[in-house]
Chains A and B, each alone.
Chain A
Amino acid sequence: MPAVIVIAGKSLLLLWRDRMGFFWWMVGFPMLIAVLIGTIFAGVLEGPSRPMTVGLVDQARSADSAAFIEALRQSPGLELRPEDAASAAQAVRTGRLTAYLLLPEGFRLSPSAFWDKRLPVAAGIDPARRAELAFLEAAVTESALRMLRDQWADPTRRPQMIQAWLADLAETGALGPTARAGLETALGAVGLYLTPASSPAGATAAGPAAPLPLGRLQTLAIGEAVRPASAFEVCFPLGMIWGLLGLAAECAAALAKERQSGTLLRLRIAPVSRVRRVAGEGLATFLACLGVMSLLLAVGTVGFGVRLASLPAMALACLSTGVCFVGLTLMLSEMGRTELAVSGAAWAVLLVMAMLGGGMVPQMFLPEWMLTLGAISPVKWAILGFEGGIWRGFGLREMLRPCAVLAAQGLACGLVGFVAASRREG
């Protein structure tokens, strides 16, 4: 039997004998990660996104405020929950609500609100949540415009709107004298035109309805496969990564243990070259990597509905990730003298890699700078490869980049480890 196979068999048997460690670090813990994170992000990733729940404090309690609330309710992105001011503020402070809207006493909406850029609505929200504030502003603006459009469409209310607008213009200093005079003249003319007495006979007096000023984006079909069917399709790749991290740490520590005990000396005395000895250990790590990935993938597929968009792409991702983690293991095993030192150093390096590469939270939630820096982490490329095979629907051509990076990183790390081992052995 070739020495490479003999050594690989021995290492796999030793790994198997430590069943508690194997199942916890390489199967149990990664599965827990996949299931827990999958459950946490299930609401975010599965189906259409949920509307933002917002508290609503109506201090005006007028026909105008009621009409505005009705317009707000038509916004698909908002779910309104009536509150009083104190409880709404408390709910936002304690995180039960993202924000609340307050319609103050005397609330009245006229087109002039858009002139001085201040809607008569206040929002209670954590100032750091800028994206949510921008979304709220857009939703409130859309609702205000919708309400004004509906009022304009009613010929009996149109003159009142013009009067209110003119009255607001008289109060506001937002326009210069020339612009203001011009607008007052124009609105006055529209008002005269639209009064029932001056309407031409037979005219409906409804006039043209104002178009909805807020434009809708046309949505383009980008295919079903670019979206994960469930959170587990995103989180099982994470679980697989954690399985591989555990395996790399375990194998690196086992190599250090071999060095520390006399077994490495006995291996070195045997008629087996260093290259074949390292190849044997590498083969064991590679096969164990494939085993861990296959096992977790099988559990994800059978138990959690994870689909494989492309089997060849997934196989390519698994093979290149295996190569990468073999190299990584060889390098990590040289990061300390003792088993304990190697184990500690390996976890320190692997955790940083996991953090940068999106192994702790899905990449889609990482800030831009971390995504950029994460390019140095094999974890990023491994996850991209797994996602390419699972739900991104990558073709083999698209898989080439992550797989080539993984293989190159593995070879580089392996070379560093091999050179360090050669120097140590003298």
Chain B
Amino acid sequence: MIRVSRLRKRFGRIPAVEDISFDVRPGETFGLLGPNGAGKTTTLHLMLGLLRPDAGSVVLDGGNPTIPAVRRTVGAAPQALALYDDLTGAENLAFFGRLQGLGGRTLRDRVRRALDRAGLAGRARDLVRDYSAGMKRRLHLQCALIHEPKVLFLDEPTVAVDPQARHHILNDIESLKRDGRTIVFTTHYMEEAQRLCDRVAIMDQGRILALDTVPRLIAEHGGRAALRIELQRPPDDPAQLPGRLDETTLLMDTDEPFEVLGRLASSGVEIREFYAHQPDLEAVFLNLTGRRLRD
């Protein structure tokens, strides 16, 4: 669906994207995960043909993304809200629909459906300036979908929204994913990438550090699970216990946390409570860069 080959972009002396290559398959949800300034948005803009690459190429649905026919297959929701505050929700949707060549009954139906999906049917005639931040984000997403594109690009779709609106937006994306739409989105929230993405490219300083499915990334770069067990009382023979004992707290890193717990229980160790922290994409990023995602 999308082929990115040896893409490179600099802004003056600052390298924004350094020689990145990847493919996005039809129907796949592909995430670009990285901290602010990693080059995610620049990559997205290069893929959309909004920026001209210094080197490399992007092929989108078999063509150059700057060609209008190719752009018709694409929907995008930029990071900044792309809405006109002094138009109503329905007028915003209709305007972006008309730009995509829609009109007449088709446009009216699409606008109505989009308002329903955004939960804004009752506020269709209100000016967008009177919407809450969450309502604006939902409408923003629907504007990108009004022409039912094959590929959807979302740049930080849940930035600056409350948890409820975030939940709503993530549900919307999951629903689009179920419909088989190809989705490329950027985020610096590893939970979102973990929840939504079939594959994730972890980016830092303009480079892709790792690219794979979430389980494989974790297995390869996440390290071992951290296990913390609180014992009822100190054991008679601490040397027989795995890990490090601090009074009644047992700490260890292991690939098999639940097997370890089972073995301890069967050997007569009384366990009051335990915490098993499975590795995640945060751990992957930490292991790859030595920094946290939000550093």
* Residues of A near any B CB (own CB < 8 A): 1, 3, 6-7, 10, 13-14, 17-18, 261-263, 265-273, 425-426
Contact = CB atoms under 8 A, between A and B. Distances in A.
Interface stretch (B23-31, B98-106, B237-245): B98-106
B216 interface: no
Interface of B: 48, 50-52, 68-69, 71-72, 74, 76, 78-84, 86-87, 91, 95-96, 98-101, 103, 127, 140, 143-144
Contacts of B74: 269
A265 B48 CA distance: 10
Contact of B103 (A1, A269, A425, A426): A1
A261 B140 CA distance: 12
A-B pairs, top 8 by smallest CB distance, nearest first, are: A262-B82, A262-B80, A271-B68, A266-B82, A17-B86, A262-B78, A271-B71, A270-B99
B98 A6 contact: yes
B81 A13 contact: no
Contacts of B48: 269
A3 B80 CA distance: 23
Nearest to B98: A6
A14 B87 CA distance: 7
A268 B45 CA distance: 11
A273 B143 CA distance: 19
Contacts of A273: 68
B86 A6 contact: no
Nearest to A18: B86
A207 B140 CA distance: 103
The secondary structure that dominates the A interface is: helix
B204 to A, nearest CB: 24
Contacts of A263: 82-84
A6 B96 CA distance: 9
A313 to B, nearest CB: 37
25 contacts: A3-B99, A6-B98, A10-B84, A10-B95, A13-B91, A14-B86, A17-B127, A262-B81, A262-B83, A263-B82, A263-B83, A263-B84, A265-B50, A265-B76, A265-B82, A266-B143, A268-B50, A269-B48, A269-B74, A270-B71, A270-B96, A271-B69, A271-B99, A271-B100, A426-B50
A17 B85 CA distance: 10
Contacts of A261: 80-83
A283 B256 CA distance: 68
A271 B72 CA distance: 6
Nearest to A270: B99
Contacts of B50: 265, 268-269, 425-426
Contacts of B86: 14, 17-18
B81 to A, nearest CB: 6
A422 to B, nearest CB: 11
Given A7-B99, A273-B68, 9 more contacts: A6-B98, A17-B86, A262-B80, A263-B82, A267-B99, A269-B48, A270-B96, A270-B99, A271-B100
A1 B71 contact: no
A3 B101 CA distance: 8
Given A262-B78, A266-B78, A1 B98 contact: yes
The interface centre, meaning the residue of B69, B80, B99, B140 with most chain A CB atoms within 10 A of its CB, is B99
A267 B95 CA distance: 10
Nearest to B71: A271
Contacts of A267: 99
Contacts of B103: 1
A262 B77 CA distance: 9
A270 B70 CA distance: 10
Contacts of B51: 426
Nearest to A5: B98
B67 to A, nearest CB: 9
Contacts of A269: 48, 50, 71, 74, 76
Nearest to A11: B84
Contacts of A265: 50, 76, 78, 80, 82
A302 to B, nearest CB: 31
B76 A6 contact: no
Given A6-B95, A6-B99, A265-B78, A272 B84 contact: no
Contacts of B71: 269-271
A230 B79 CA distance: 57
Contact of B100 (A13, A270, A425): A270
A270 B103 CA distance: 15
A426 B52 contact: yes
Nearest to B143: A266
Nearest to A265: B78
A47 B71 CA distance: 66
B142 to A, nearest CB: 12
A14 B100 contact: no
Contacts of B78: 262, 265-266
Contacts of B143: 266
Contact of B68 (A14, A262, A272, A425): A272
A170 B95 CA distance: 98
Nearest to B101: A271
A270 B143 CA distance: 11
B118 to A, nearest CB: 16
B80 A17 contact: no
B58 to A, nearest CB: 14
The interface centre, meaning the residue of B72, B81, B84 with most chain A CB atoms within 10 A of its CB, is B84
Contacts of B95: 6, 10
Nearest to B102: A1
A263 B98 CA distance: 15
Contacts of A262: 78-83, 140
Contacts of A7: 99
Nearest to A266: B82
A266 B144 CA distance: 8
A262 B98 CA distance: 18
B77 to A, nearest CB: 8
A6 B91 CA distance: 12
B87 A17 contact: yes
A13 B51 CA distance: 30
A392 B68 CA distance: 50
Contacts of A17: 86-87, 127
B157 to A, nearest CB: 12
A1 B98 CA distance: 7
A80 B284 CA distance: 99
A6 B99 CA distance: 7
